[in-house]
Amino acid sequence: MKTIDYTQYDDCCCPSEAEIQEILVAVEDQETSGSVQLDRFLPVVSQIIQENRLQPASPEKLLKAFLTLDHEKKGYLTKEFLSKAVVEDGEPFTQEEVDEMMAIAIDAETGHIPYEYYINQLMDITEVDCS
């Protein structure tokens, strides 16, 4: 069985579970577990924003990751292959994350994921969310 290096693919995922936990620890109220006080939250999030720590991956980085997964250079991945990759390798996606991704990624006519089109879709979403 061939091992696939998903490091490049993992680099496209922001933020990681470890980064989320780090943020939660920094903002969580020490006296009331599970709650966050605004005066603790704002400085932490402001610093993250100022340092550009949680920026989405660039289109070039995403394309490189997809090309790493597309061994046959077909220009697309199957739903089954990508679902398995993002759930079982690297930092696993939740089923909800997989479903959300597939809702945008899958070409309705072919059932495949034409990744260059998907990357363009992601960039359009990012531009809308960030403006």
Q: What is the CATH number of the domain that holds 77?
A: 1.10.238.10
Q: What 8-state DSSP symbol labels residue 28?
A: B
Which two tokens mark 112?
């495949």
Cα–Cα distances in Å, from 25 out to 15, 18, 30, 80, 127?
15, 11, 9, 36, 30
Over residues 86-114, the pLDDT tens digits come to 888 777 888 998 999 999 999 999 999 99
Over residues 45-99, the pLDDT tens digits come to 888 878 877 777 889 989 999 999 999 999 999 999 999 998 887 778 889 989 9
Give me the phi and psi of 92, to 5 degrees please: -65, 140
- Is 65 contained in some domain? yes
Whole-number Å distance between alpha carbons of 32 and 75: 50
- Is 26 contained in some domain? no
* Predicted TM-score of the model (pTM): 0.62
Which pLDDT does position 13 carry in this prediction? 43
Domain limits for position 97: 57-130
- Is 21 contained in some domain? no
Q: What's the structural domain count of the chain?
A: 1
Burial of 113 by CB count in 10 Å (0-12 exposed, 13-18 middle, 19+ buried)?
Answer: buried
Over residues 8-52, the pLDDT tens digits come to 344 444 577 788 888 888 888 888 877 888 888 888 888 887 887
CB 82 within 8 A of CB 51: no
Which pLDDT does position 130 carry in this prediction? 45
- Is 125 contained in some domain? yes
- Is 61 contained in some domain? yes
- Is 5 contained in some domain? no
Helix (H) or strand (E) holding 83: helix 79-88
- Is 52 contained in some domain? no
- Is 105 contained in some domain? yes
CB 85 within 8 A of CB 102: no
